[in-house]
Chain A
Amino acid sequence: MFFKHKEVAQELAQQLESGVGAIEGRSLWQDAKRRFFRNKAAVLSLFIIGLIILFSIFGSQFAQYSYEEIDWFALSDPVELGRPSIETGHYFGTDKLGRDLYARTVQGSQISLMVGILSSLVAIVIGTLYGAASGFIGGRVDMVMMRIVEILSALPFMFMVIMLMVMFGRQIILIFVAIGAVSWLDMARIVRGQTLSIKNKEYIEAAHACGVSQWRIVVRHVVPNVMGIVLVYASLMIPGMIMFESFISFLGLGVQEPETSWGALISEGVVTMEFALWQLAFPLTFLVITLFCFNFVGDGLRDALDPKER
């Protein structure tokens, strides 16, 4: 027994010396990747999200009609001629104005996904920088900065965004900015908490000792280390944003015709659901599947990057 240990130890020593077969370290990210890819629901969801993104980008290639063109023939009898069918080229049928629902769904997917991803991005950038700065500077500045966040998050922002939309017109850019700019608050709070715990680590002290400026420490050392948490919340934020945009569009306050989004399509489909169910069913399916998948991916990422949360 003793000899065997010795042999193993010798072998290991030789390996270490020669550098052959040395044990490779795994970084935090590699570990997380392994854990994530073991989660089947999350991987499948990621795959489906990929398909939906591809659909939104290349789907229009297969459309027989443009999204704003009215098919007068189908309009004459939307219930019969506007039905989903391969022969007429209206794969998803037509909407109540005789426009091709397939092309409109593609267009709606673009807008919905874009709003979801871009406004999350806005929220993440603002929230991460604000939270990291607040946590890192600390003291009175931190107190004031967090008090601002506290006050802002006590405001009914859904109503305020709609107010913004009403007063400054319904531009799609405004939706991104408005939604993004009001939803960075949670992110700021989370990042601040993380930063407080990172702040006292040795490598930050080392950076200080080397004379790195405060701002550079925040950007180069603090922010990358809170990225894991940020990623998790981002993936949970995107479906929230998509839902929010759909909500506004459902009320008829979001995207402007002829542009459309899932929410706008659903709100149109609801009117005719008694006799033309497909007008509701297709956009609804896309929205619900996307929301499901983002939630699963988010859960998967959380399990992968934040093991103590389990």
Chain B
Amino acid sequence: MLNFIFRRFLQAIPTLLILTILTFALMYMAPGSPFLTEKGMPDEVLANINAKYHLDLPVWEQYLIYLGNLVQGDLGPSFRYLDFSVNDLVWPSLAVSATIGGWALLIAVTLGITMGMVAALHHNKWLDYTLMTTAMAGIVLPTFVMAPLLVLLLSYKVKWLPAGGWHNGDWQYLVLPVFAMATHLIAQIARITRGSLIEVMSSNFIRTAQAKGLPYRTIILRHAFKPMMLPVVSYLGPLFVGVLTGSVIIDVFFGTGGIGQHFVNGAINRDYSMVMGVTVLVGVMYIAFNAVTDIIYAYIDPKIRY
């Protein structure tokens, strides 16, 4: 197992390299310089600035410097907020994003699995239909639709919860962002769990367990649960992407100050290094998350040999 984990993380290295090369190449090819202003600036100043950011060196040297900094955890300077490095701006907001994303993940997984199991165990009954219709609604309502709808209902109409802001993560300020992010994910997980459990319940080993006279609860929890989880675990990767994507919308819409806000502001201000920094950071997290998912999967699925 240890060997497998080690190898899985080694496999992530070429992916990481390609990620950095791609982002770097995109930035290098981008037309225009981040320092070009309407007025223009004296050539000497421009040359100084270029030298400061190593823009005067050949491409491959720029890339190596960039990669070297990256390995040391330095995402580079922000081209827009000149006194800040990308790290200064990104790390505090990462905590916010992690709080919202973590809760959303937790709620999505627990609620989604519960909903899916209940639906599957009442297969083709009214409860199943109700839950799955709700899930369908959750699937077609993207986060950027869910967020305004929730605010409209719970903040403007009944005034139960604040419509935005962060306030050091008070729970009132957390509820709407977390649920706006989680609905879509809950729906997806519920559908996957339901399909998986229905399939598992019709397999031979469940029939054997029933024939042995095992209590219903034991059959579900001891025998059906683990194989049921396989497709759910393999959905964890896309789930993580959902949280990242969701966080962009959530941060912009609720003004929670998470990492997504920096990304979008960077994009609008053409702050290349910020956009690139966030992309690389997100990419690294995603690649690591995928590796962890694979390891969990190998742990659950007895068919996988490592």
Q: Which residues of A contact B (CB under 8 A)?
A: 151-152, 154-156, 158-160, 162-169, 239, 243, 246-247, 250-253, 263, 266-267, 269-270, 273-274, 277, 280, 284, 287-288, 291-292, 295
| B272 adjacent to A167 (CB under 8 Å) | yes
Q: List 13 A-B contacts (CB under 8 A).
A: A156-B282, A156-B283, A158-B245, A160-B23, A163-B275, A166-B275, A167-B27, A251-B249, A263-B144, A273-B148, A274-B156, A280-B152, A287-B145
Q: What residues of chain B lie closer than 8 Å to A263, measured between beta carbons?
A: 144
**Chain B, residue nearest A151 (CB):** B15
* Contact among B29, B152, B245, B290 with A167 in the assembled complex (CB-CB below 8 Å): B29
Q: Which residues of B contact A (CB under 8 A)?
A: 12, 14-15, 18-19, 22-23, 26-27, 29-31, 136, 139-142, 144-145, 148, 152, 156, 241, 244-245, 248-249, 252-253, 263-264, 266-268, 270, 272, 275-276, 278-279, 282-283, 286-287, 290
With A160-B23, A168-B30 as contacts: A251 and B136 at CB distance below 8 Å: no
| A154 adjacent to B244 (CB under 8 Å) | no
Shortest CB distance A108–B (Å): 15
| B31 adjacent to A167 (CB under 8 Å) | yes
| B263 adjacent to A247 (CB under 8 Å) | no
- What is the CA–CA distance of A31 and B143 in the complex, to the nearest angstrom? 38
With A163-B279, A273-B148, A288-B141 as contacts: A158 and B15 at CB distance below 8 Å: no
With A167-B30, A239-B140, A270-B253 as contacts: A156 and B279 at CB distance below 8 Å: yes
Q: What residues of chain B lie closer than 8 Å to A164, measured between beta carbons?
A: 26
Q: What residues of chain B lie closer than 8 Å to A168, measured between beta carbons?
A: 30-31
Q: What residues of chain B lie closer than 8 Å to A155, measured between beta carbons?
A: 15, 18-19, 22, 283, 286
- What is the CA–CA distance of A267 and B88 in the complex, to the nearest angstrom? 30
Where chain B touches its partner, the secondary structure class is helix
With A151-B18, A167-B272, A251-B248 as contacts: A292 and B140 at CB distance below 8 Å: yes
Question: Besides A156-B283, A156-B286, A163-B267, 18 other CB < 8 A contacts?
Answer: A151-B14, A155-B286, A156-B244, A156-B282, A159-B244, A159-B278, A162-B275, A163-B275, A164-B26, A165-B267, A166-B270, A167-B26, A167-B27, A243-B142, A246-B144, A252-B268, A274-B156, A288-B140
- What is the CA–CA distance of A263 and B249 in the complex, to the nearest angstrom? 12
- What is the CA–CA distance of A280 and B145 in the complex, to the nearest angstrom? 10
Where chain A touches its partner, the secondary structure class is helix
Q: What residues of chain B lie closer than 8 Å to A287, measured between beta carbons?
A: 145
* Contact among B139, B140, B241, B268 with A158 in the assembled complex (CB-CB below 8 Å): B241
| A162 adjacent to B29 (CB under 8 Å) | no
**Chain B, residue nearest A249 (CB):** B144
| B142 adjacent to A159 (CB under 8 Å) | no
| A247 adjacent to B23 (CB under 8 Å) | no
| B245 adjacent to A154 (CB under 8 Å) | no
Shortest CB distance A53–B (Å): 18
| B30 adjacent to A162 (CB under 8 Å) | no
| B270 adjacent to A159 (CB under 8 Å) | no
- What is the CA–CA distance of A239 and B142 in the complex, to the nearest angstrom? 11
- What is the CA–CA distance of A243 and B266 in the complex, to the nearest angstrom? 22
Q: What residues of chain A lie closer than 8 Å to B30, measured between beta carbons?
A: 166-168
- What is the CA–CA distance of A118 and B290 in the complex, to the nearest angstrom? 30
Shortest CB distance B287–A (Å): 5
**Chain B, residue nearest A277 (CB):** B152
Q: What residues of chain A lie closer than 8 Å to B286, measured between beta carbons?
A: 154-156
Q: What residues of chain B lie closer than 8 Å to A156, measured between beta carbons?
A: 241, 244, 279, 282-283, 286
| A160 adjacent to B26 (CB under 8 Å) | yes
* Contact among A158, A239, A250, A274 with B144 in the assembled complex (CB-CB below 8 Å): A250
- What is the CA–CA distance of A158 and B249 in the complex, to the nearest angstrom? 12
Output the residue of A152, A158, A163, A246 with the most chain B CB within 10 A.
Answer: A163
- What is the CA–CA distance of A288 and B138 in the complex, to the nearest angstrom? 11
- What is the CA–CA distance of A252 and B265 in the complex, to the nearest angstrom? 10
Shortest CB distance A292–B (Å): 5
Q: What residues of chain A lie closer than 8 Å to B282, measured between beta carbons?
A: 156, 159
Q: What residues of chain A lie closer than 8 Å to B26, measured between beta carbons?
A: 160, 163-164, 167
| B144 adjacent to A266 (CB under 8 Å) | yes
- What is the CA–CA distance of A63 and B267 in the complex, to the nearest angstrom? 35
Output the residue of A154, A162, A165 with the most chain B CB within 10 A.
Answer: A154
Shortest CB distance A161–B (Å): 10
Q: What residues of chain B lie closer than 8 Å to A284, measured between beta carbons?
A: 145
**Chain B, residue nearest A165 (CB):** B267
| B139 adjacent to A266 (CB under 8 Å) | no
Shortest CB distance A97–B (Å): 19
* Contact among A162, A250, A270, A295 with B263 in the assembled complex (CB-CB below 8 Å): A162
**Chain A, residue nearest B145 (CB):** A284
Shortest CB distance B137–A (Å): 8
